[in-house]
Amino acid sequence: MMDSTVLPMSSQQARVELTEFLRKNVPDWPIPSADDRLVFEGWATLCDRFAPVFLEKSPHHLHSPSALALFQQASTEVSRELDIRVIGLVRNPIDTLYSMWQRWRTRPELRQHEWVAAYQNLRSLSAIMGDRMTTIRYEDLVQDPSKLGEICDFLEVDRMESIGSGVRSGSVSSWTDDRTFGFQPDKAVIELARSFGYDEADLRPRQSPVWAIAREIRIAQRKARGLAGRARRSLRSKDGE
């Protein structure tokens, strides 16, 4: 992912982290020397240890074709032992990009291309997985939390009476209250989002004459705070010595 401090990761570091993760969760499982066995058998072992349902959630897999290729291979390699199913959670790209902007001050003009690549990967994965994959929009879930019951049905697990009680909708369209946010998405973003059922009206922030200036000021402010924080930590470290 763009601006990632971790990726791309070397194969050696990946093996170290996978090994540490598996030792924490299945300490009695002997770590194999072969990388493919570490990945596929390690996954199967986790699923078996935490059966009957082992749910893994990551927002990052769709950004990595390599991760998806491994996943597709795993869905074939271990399908004799496991019933693997995939839930694709779709979110309005403007909400997604605004959330990134608020948290990290990353330019949505750049990040939008990352969103397009990820959701194109989602389309490709859905075509491969077929009826083993279902896709649902985040906005539909928060508007009607009972739709989580449909996810339970897809997974063939029992519905609980409290299902959906913890769902909150505060992050939906929060960008509409920010008068300085004037990001205008590319045509590719609009077209792909519309294919997931979003109306163009939900994808067009209002034009803001101050957006370009406000964006750069806030990015500079975040960088300055980061530098100041590192300087304080460095001073404390020296004082500790």
- Write down the pLDDT at residue 1: 64
Are residues 41 and 59 part of one domain? yes
What percent of the chain is modeled with pLDDT above 70? Answer: 95
Can you list the pairs that 68-71 forms with residues at least 24 positions away whose Cβ atoms lie under 8 Å? 68/121, 68/124, 68/125, 70/39, 71/125
Are residues 166 and 101 part of one domain? yes
Residue 201 pLDDT > 70:
yes
Residue 240 pLDDT > 70:
no
In the structure, what pLDDT confidence band is assigned to residue 2 with cuts at 50, 70 and 90?
Answer: low
In the structure, what pLDDT confidence band is assigned to residue 241 with cuts at 50, 70 and 90?
Answer: low
β-strand 86-90 against 133-137: which pairing, if any? parallel
Q: Which of the listed residues 34, 50, 82 is the one where a domain comes to its end?
A: 82
Are residues 111 and 74 part of one domain? no
- Domain that residue 25 falls in: 1-82
Residue 19 pLDDT > 80:
yes
Residue 94 pLDDT > 80:
yes
In the structure, what pLDDT confidence band is assigned to residue 102 with cuts at 50, 70 and 90?
Answer: very high
pLDDT tens-digit series, residues 36-65: 999 999 999 999 999 888 888 877 788 888
Are residues 131 and 70 part of one domain? no
Decide: 189 and 92 in contact? Cβ < 8 Å. Answer: no
* Angstrom distance (rounded) from CA 78 to CA 74: 6
Are residues 171 and 100 part of one domain? yes
pLDDT tens-digit series, residues 61-90: 888 888 888 888 888 888 677 888 999 999
Closest CA to 30 of 14, 40, 41: 41
Instruction: Kindly state whether residue 195 falls inside one of the protein's structural domains.
Output: yes
Closest CA to 130 of 82, 76, 70: 76
Q: What is the mean pLDDT of residues 22-36?
A: 95
Residue 168 pLDDT > 90:
no
81 three-state secondary structure = coil
pLDDT tens-digit series, residues 116-161: 999 999 999 999 899 999 999 999 988 888 888 899 999 998 888 7
Helix, strand, coil abundance in the chain, percent, nearest 5: 60, 5, 35
Instruction: Kindly state whether residue 201 falls inside one of the protein's structural domains.
Output: yes
Domains of the chain: total: 2
